Structure 1
Amino acid sequence: MDEVAGAIADPVRRAILTMLRDSRLSAGEIADRFQISRPAVSRHLRVLRESGLVRDELVGRRRFYVLAPERFAELVEWLTPFLQPSGLEHRLDALETEVYRTRRERRTRGPAARAQENTA
């Protein structure tokens, strides 16, 4: 997981992963979308390949890079608890529900019942 997290820490590598989400691309096609040098893009691709986030496929004489989404599973599993509501959020939701229920009950009772509540 540390290797995956380290690989996605760089914004250029995240941009490459986003590009590969939709289609496979050659190193040249990826490099053309950046203002950094082709060797720099190659180094980023090597990091992504070594971390297992992308793999390369040879098609004839061309090398294409494709996303390897299965490698994200461990990171997603680790992150999931942070996305789940905490116990406090559940209690606040319950409180909000109770407030709305009480308001609704007061509206459905007549004005005489509300006046009696206010004097009690």
Structure 2
Amino acid sequence: MPNTIDLDFDKASSEQSIAAIIAAMEPQEIEQLAIDVIIEQRRRLEITQGLYECLNAGHSQELSDMARQELRYKYHLALIQMKAHHALVATVLHTLGYVPKVPGDDATH
């Protein structure tokens, strides 16, 4: 069973810091920021999904224990980074008030 670590992390203060930076931006800058963070979030999701699929593929059992542990670590790191970035996306979109059209999106979604 993994060790539990009690971190006293004030999520609200980091969100307030981000909100303060965004508050100094013009509306069109915030919209561009939203588009950019959405694109980055999608990239992070693809990376995380790819690592997850590698871990769960049948051939991952053929990897050495060390290689499998490294792959598992990379997946956990990518997952944490994706989740942390998701908080940024949520803060930006909340500030903007809507989800902007992202270039390359199919209009039928």
Structure richer in strand, relative to its length: 1
Normalization by structure 1: what TM-score?
0.29
Q: Highest Rg: 1 or 2?
A: 1
| Higher relative contact order (CA closer than 8 Å, sequence separation 6+) | 2
**Structure that is richer in helix per residue:** 2
